[in-house]
Structure 1
Amino acid sequence: MRCAKVNFWTRTSGLRCHRSGPAGMTFDALLDEVGAFGPFQVLLVVLMASSRLVLPCNLLLNNFIGAVPPHRCKVARWNATTASAVPLGDDGLPQACGTFVRPPSLVAGNQSEATPTVPCLHGWIYDNSTFSSTIATEWDLVCERKHLPQTINIIFFLGLMLGSLLFGLLSDNYGRRRSLLLSYVLSLALGLASAWSDSYVLLAVLRFLSGTALAGVSLVTITLCIEWVNSSHRASMCVIGSLSWSLGNMLLAGLAFLINDWRPLVVAVNAPLALAVLTWRWVPESARWLCANAQVEKAHLYLNKCARANKRPELASKDIVEALSSAGKSKKSKKYTFLHLFKTPKLRKISLVSGIAWYGTAVTYYGISLNLSGFGLSVYLTHFVYAAVEVPARLLIYFLINRIGRRPCLVGTLVLTATCIGVNIFVPEDVWQLRSAVAILGKGLSEASATTIILYTHELYPTVLRQTGLGFTSVLSRVGVSVAPLVLFLEDVWSVLPQVVLCVGAFFCGLLAMLLPETLDLKLPETVQDVETPACSKGQEDVPLETKNTT
C-alpha cells in the first residue's frame, strides 16, 4: 500500500500511515514511549520560570526607571517668590523648562510679560512623590534632553534585535542548553552592572548588551519546552510560558511600587537570573535537536532521563537505539545560516509571511499599550491592570487554538484587533467609558495574537532551523516595537492618524497570515525536506523519516 501523496502542511481525514516496527519510529513516537507530558516536562517549565519572569520586567522596565516626574527650574540667589522667578503656564503652574533672566517686575501682583526668559540655569526641582529617583532625575534628562530616557528603551530593543540573530544561530548550531547558559550568565552580569552605571552613555551601552543577552533567554526557553512535548501538548507549553510574561509584568508593577529608586529596582528585576544560573545544571538538552544533529547517544541519555522521571520503561532496547541512530544518521549534521530560510520555496514563503505577521503583531500590541488611557489610576496600578487583562486573553486562546487551529486564531485576533482600533476612531472622546472598554478588548486580542504567533512559528520551522527562524521573526517584531512610539507621533499631523495606521496594519497582517499553512495536530518538522516535500498528514507522528510516502 502507498499513502496518498498529500501536502505535509494539510490534513486529510481518515488517512493513516503505519510504522513497521521500532526501527521505523519517528522522534515523536519515541517521545510518546517515554512520556510526552509528565513530571519531566513540568519540572522543565519550573526550571524556566525564574528566567521567564525576568523578561517582561526588563522589556518594560523603562516605564519606571525612565519616567519623567513633574519638574520646574531651580531658582538660586533670588529673594523672590517661586512664582515671580519662574514663568507660569496657561494652567497657572510653573513652567518646566524656562526661567526669567532677572526677577520680573510685578504689576498689580502679575508677572510682566515683557521680561525675557532663558533655559533653566541652575538645574531642576522634581516632584518625588511617585519616584524617588529615575535616570531622568539623576542626569536631568528633561526639556531639550527629554528624548533621552526613551532613547534608552530603543537602544535596549536594538540589543534584542542583535541578540535574536546571534542566539538563533548559536542555538541551532551548538545546542539549546549551551546557548541558554551563555544568555543566563551574560544577562545576570550585564543587568546588575547596569545598576552601577555612573553616566548615561555607560547605561545605554550596558542596556544594549543586556538586551542582546536576554534575547537568548526569550528564544531558547520556550523552544526547549515545546520540543520536549508532542503535538497535543505544544499549545499547553506555549500558553504556560506566555502566562509567565503576564505574571512577570504584574510583578514589575509591585516591585516598582515597593522600590521607587531606579538602581535597586534594576537589581531586583535581574536577581532571579541568579536562581536560573544555579538551576541550569538540571535543564536537559533538546533530544529532538540532538537527533536532528546526529548526536544519538546524548539523545538516548536524555530520553531515558525523561522516561525515569515520567515512570516509564527506559529505552534500553537495541531496536530503539537503532531507531534513534537511523533517524540521526539520516540527517547530515551541518551548519545553518539565515540564508537557508530563503533558499527553498516553502521556507521562503513561511519566513516572509510570518515575519510580516510578527511585525504587525508587535507594532499593534505596543501601539495600543502606549496609547491606552482613561483609568485615572496611579502609574503602578495602571501597569498592573494592563498586565492583568492579558491573562484571560491567553487562557481563551489556549482553548481556541486546539479546536479551530493556529491560522484561524492568528487571522481572527489580528482582524478583530483592527476592528477595535477602527471602532474607537468613531467613538467620541467624551464617551471615555466605551473607548476604554473597546481599547482593553483590543489589547486583549492583540495579546492573544502574540501568544498564537509564538506557538505557530515554532511549528512552522524545522528543528534544524527553528531558532534561526525565530531569531529572524523576532528581529522584525523588535522593529515593530521600536516603530510603535513613532506611529503615535503622527497625531501631530492628524489626531486619529495613529489609529488609522494601526488599524490598517493589523487588518493587512491578519489577511496576509491566511497564506501560512495550518499546523494543528501535525508533528514538528525536523529537516528542511520535511517542510518542502509532501508526506502523509494524518497519523504523521508514526511515519518514518526515511519513508514518509510508503508503508
Structure 2
Amino acid sequence: MVSCGADRARDSYSHRFCSLQTRMKFENILEEINGFGPFQILLIILLCSPRIVLPCHFLLNIFIGAVPPHHCDISGLDDGDLFTNLTREQRLVVSVPLRDDGAPKSCEMFTEPRFHLLSNGSGAELPAVPCQSGWVYDNSTFTSTLATEWDLVCDRKSLTKATSTIFFLGVMMGAITTGFLCDKYGRRNVLLASYIMALVFGFSSAFANSYVLFAILRFLTGFGLTGIGINSLVLTIEWVDTDHRSFIGVMGSLSWSVGNMLLAAFAYLVNDWRNLIMVVTAPLGFAILTWWWIPESARWLLVNGKVEKAQFYLDKCAKFNNRPKVSTKFKLQTLCDVENSEEQNKSYSYVHLIKTPKMRQLTLITGIVWYGVASTYYGISLNIGGFGLNMYLTHFIYAAIEVPAKLMVYCFLNIIGRRKCQSGTLLLTGICIAINIFLPKDLWHLRTVVAILGKGLSEAAFTTVFLYTSELYPTVLRQNGLGYTNFVSRLGVAVAPLILLLEDVWTLLPQIIICSVAVVSGLASLLLPETLRVKLPETIEEVEERSQK
C-alpha cells in the first residue's frame, strides 16, 4: 500500500485504484466498529432534538402573524354621554359601516355617530373614512400578535406575510453560505455556529421594539437555522452504514413532524407572540450543551487529509459500540489514499457542481426535483381548507397526517428504491391534485380526503428527497450540494403563495400549475441514479465514473 502511494503521482490509474480501495475500506470499517450501534443512536438523538425547533420557526408566522378580528377605535366619537345608554354592538352600528354578513368593517368608520342606523340600514351608502384613532382587537384567541403590536392591518396587512418571506430569504442565503462553509471547514464547527446564531437572534427577535428590527432579526434567525437542518442530516448519514441510511433519513424527517405538532401545543398554551418565540427557541440552549458530544464526520476528515483526527473519532465510535479499535493497517491504507491524493490540494466550491458532465446533470435534475417538491408541498399546505375546527387543532391534524406518510415511505425506500419512491410520490401527488380539479365542489368530503392524501404524499416526497440527495452528492461536495438544493427549494416556497394568487385570474389555474410542477419534477427524478445499498461517493471522480442503474 505504501509503494502504491509512491507510484500514484506518476500513474493515475494506480491512484484511482488505491483511492477506491481505501473508500471501500471505510465502509468495511464501519461494519467492523458497528455502523449502527449505541454511538450512532446517541448521535441521532442529539441531532434530532434541535431539528424539532426547525418547523416551530419555519411555520411560526401562522400564529405570531395571525390577524385577529378588529375594527376602528371609536372612542374618539364619544363626546360626553353620547354612548352611555348604548350596548357595545349598538355603538359599533352607529360608528362603523357593516359588511354584508353583518359584522363591522375592519378599516372604515363614520366621521360622526349615525344614530338613525339603530332602527334601519347598514350604513353602507354613507360616507366613511379610514380609522382615525387606531384599532380595537379581539383578544379572545391571541393576547398579542405582530398585527396587534404594530397595527399591521388594513393598508399595512401585507407586512405580516412579508415577515415570513424575509425569514425564508434568510434561509435561502443560509443554505448557500453554510453549504460552502461545511465542506470547507467541517460539519461540526459550522453546526455550533448555527446553534449559537439561531439562539441569539431568535431570542433577540422576541425583544424587538420595531417592525424593521424584528424583520432583520428574523432574517438572521432563518440564516442560522439552515445550518442546523443541513448539518444534522449529513452528520448522521455519514456516520451510519449503508443498510441504515433510509432509517436515519426518515427518523430525521419524523423530528420535523414532532416539532410541527408541538408548535400547535405551544401556540395554544402561549398566546403572546414574544413569549412564543422564546419558548420555541429555548431548546437550542440544550443543543449547544450537547454539541460537545457530537463527533466530526470521519468521512469528511479523511477526504480532507485529517487522518489522525479521523482515527480518533473512529476509535471513539468503536469504544462506545464495544468493538475493537480501528486497525493500524486501515490507518496506513487511509494515509495512502488521503496524504498522496491530488484531491487534497483542491478547495471545493459551488463551481464544482457544474464543472464536469455528470455533476452538471446531477445538479440540474436535483434542482428541478427540489423546486418541485417544495413548491408542491407548500402549495398544497396553503391551499387545503380546514376541518371546521380551531386553528390549533387544524394545524395539529395537518402535522399528524405526515407521520403515517413518512412511515409508509420508509418501507418503500428499502423495497423499491429511492428513485422510484421519489418519482412515485411526486406523480401520485400530482394525480391527487388533478382529481380535485375535476371533483365537484359539493363532494367536499371526498375532496378533503383526496387533498389530505395529496399532502401526505407531498410530505413523503420531501422526506425522500433529503435522504436521496445526501446519497447522490460526493463527500467533498455533499454540503455544497445540499446548500444549493435547499436554496432552490426556498425559491419554490417563495413562489407557492404567488401561484395561489393566480386564482383571481382563473379559479383552477393554481391547481393546474402545482399539478404540472409535481408531474414534471416526478418525471425528472427518473433520470437520477439509484442509491439503494450503494456506497456513498467520496469524490467527484466517483460520481463521473458511476453508471446509472
Fold equivalence (TM over 0.5): yes
Q: How many residues align?
A: 519
Which residue of 1 is the match for residue 405 of structure 2? Answer: 393
Does the aligned pair in 2 maintain the 1:104–1:111 contact within 8 Å?
Answer: no
In 2, Cα distance between equivalents of 1:20 and 1:195: 51
- Decide which structure has greater helix share: 2
Which residue of 1 is the match for residue 39 of structure 2? Answer: 40
Instruction: Kindly indicate whether residue 456 of structure 2 is the aligned counterpart of residue 457 of structure 1.
Output: no
- TM-superposed CA distance for 1:25, in Å, is 4.8
In 2, Cα distance between equivalents of 1:369 and 1:158: 20
Residue identity in the other structure for 1:504: S
Does the aligned pair in 2 maintain the 1:249–1:384 contact within 8 Å?
Answer: yes
Indicate the SS of the match to 2:369. helix
In 1, Cα distance between equivalents of 2:150 and 2:346: 50
In 2, Cα distance between equivalents of 1:498 and 1:219: 30
Indicate the SS of the match to 2:529. coil
Instruction: Classify 1:150/1:19 alpha carbon distance in 2 versus 1 (closer, same or farther; 3 Å).
Output: same
Deviations 1:61-108 (A, max 9, x none): 000000011111110232252111000010011001111122236264
Which residue of 1 is the match for residue 253 of structure 2? Answer: 242
The within-5 A match list for 1:68-107 is 68-77=67-76, 78=78, 79-80=82-83, 81-104=91-114, 106=116
Instruction: Kindly indicate whether residue 419 of structure 2 is the aligned counterpart of residue 420 of structure 1.
Output: no
- Return the match for 1:325 from 315, 332, 335: 335
Instruction: Say which structure, 1 or 2, has more relative contact order (CA 8 Å, 6+ apart).
Output: 1
Which residue of 1 is the match for residue 11 of structure 2? Answer: none
**Residue range with higher mean Cα deviation, 513-522 or 242-251:** 513-522
Instruction: Kindly indicate whether residue 303 of structure 2 is the aligned counterpart of residue 292 of structure 1.
Output: yes
**Residue range with higher mean Cα deviation, 340-349 or 78-87:** 78-87
Instruction: Classify 1:534/1:369 alpha carbon distance in 2 versus 1 (closer, same or farther; 3 Å).
Output: closer
Instruction: Kindly indicate whether residue 346 of structure 2 is the aligned counterpart of residue 334 of structure 1.
Output: yes
- Return the match for 1:272 from 283, 290, 301: 283
Which runs of 5 or more residues in structure 2 are unaligned? 1-16, 84-90
Deviations 1:193-219 (A, max 9, x none): 010001110000000000001110011
Does the aligned pair in 1 maintain the 2:97–2:109 contact within 8 Å?
Answer: yes
Which residue of 1 is the match for residue 484 of structure 2? Answer: 472
Does the aligned pair in 1 maintain the 2:18–2:336 contact within 8 Å?
Answer: no
Deviations 1:394-429 (A, max 9, x none): 000001011101110011000000000010011122
- Return the match for 1:163 from 166, 174, 185: 174
In 2, Cα distance between equivalents of 1:176 and 1:270: 22
- TM-superposed CA distance for 1:111, in Å, is 4.6
- TM-superposed CA distance for 1:27, in Å, is 1.4
- TM-superposed CA distance for 1:250, in Å, is 0.4
Which residue of 2 is the match for residue 314 of structure 1? Answer: 325
- TM-superposed CA distance for 1:129, in Å, is 1.2
Does the aligned pair in 2 maintain the 1:292–1:333 contact within 8 Å?
Answer: no
Which residue of 1 is the match for residue 292 of structure 2? Answer: 281
**Residue range with higher mean Cα deviation, 171-180 or 102-111:** 102-111
Which residue of 2 is the match for residue 448 of structure 1? Answer: 460
Does the aligned pair in 1 maintain the 2:386–2:394 contact within 8 Å?
Answer: no
Instruction: Kindly indicate whether residue 198 of structure 2 is the aligned counterpart of residue 187 of structure 1.
Output: yes
Residue identity in the other structure for 1:151: A
Which residue of 2 is the match for residue 201 of structure 1? Answer: 212
In 2, Cα distance between equivalents of 1:143 and 1:278: 44
Residue identity in the other structure for 2:338: G
TM-score by length of 1: 0.92
Does the aligned pair in 1 maintain the 2:530–2:548 contact within 8 Å?
Answer: no
- Return the match for 1:134 from 145, 163, 174: 145
Deviations 1:117-136 (A, max 9, x none): 11111111111111111001
Instruction: Classify 1:222/1:117 alpha carbon distance in 2 versus 1 (closer, same or farther; 3 Å).
Output: same
Does the aligned pair in 2 maintain the 1:25–1:323 contact within 8 Å?
Answer: no
Instruction: Classify 1:183/1:105 alpha carbon distance in 2 versus 1 (closer, same or farther; 3 Å).
Output: same
Residue identity in the other structure for 1:43: L
In 1, Cα distance between equivalents of 2:24 and 2:472: 22
Indicate the SS of the match to 1:26. helix
Indicate the SS of the match to 1:121. coil
Residue identity in the other structure for 1:287: A
Which residue of 2 is the match for residue 549 of structure 1? Answer: none
Does the aligned pair in 2 maintain the 1:253–1:384 contact within 8 Å?
Answer: yes
TM-score by length of 2: 0.92
Does the aligned pair in 1 maintain the 2:187–2:296 contact within 8 Å?
Answer: yes
In 2, Cα distance between equivalents of 1:447 and 1:518: 20
In 2, Cα distance between equivalents of 1:125 and 1:333: 65
Which residue of 2 is the match for residue 55 of structure 1? Answer: 54
Residue identity in the other structure for 1:318: T
Instruction: Kindly indicate whether residue 114 of structure 2 is the aligned counterpart of residue 115 of structure 1.
Output: no
In 2, Cα distance between equivalents of 1:369 and 1:432: 17
Instruction: Classify 1:224/1:82 alpha carbon distance in 2 versus 1 (closer, same or farther; 3 Å).
Output: same
Indicate the SS of the match to 1:72. strand
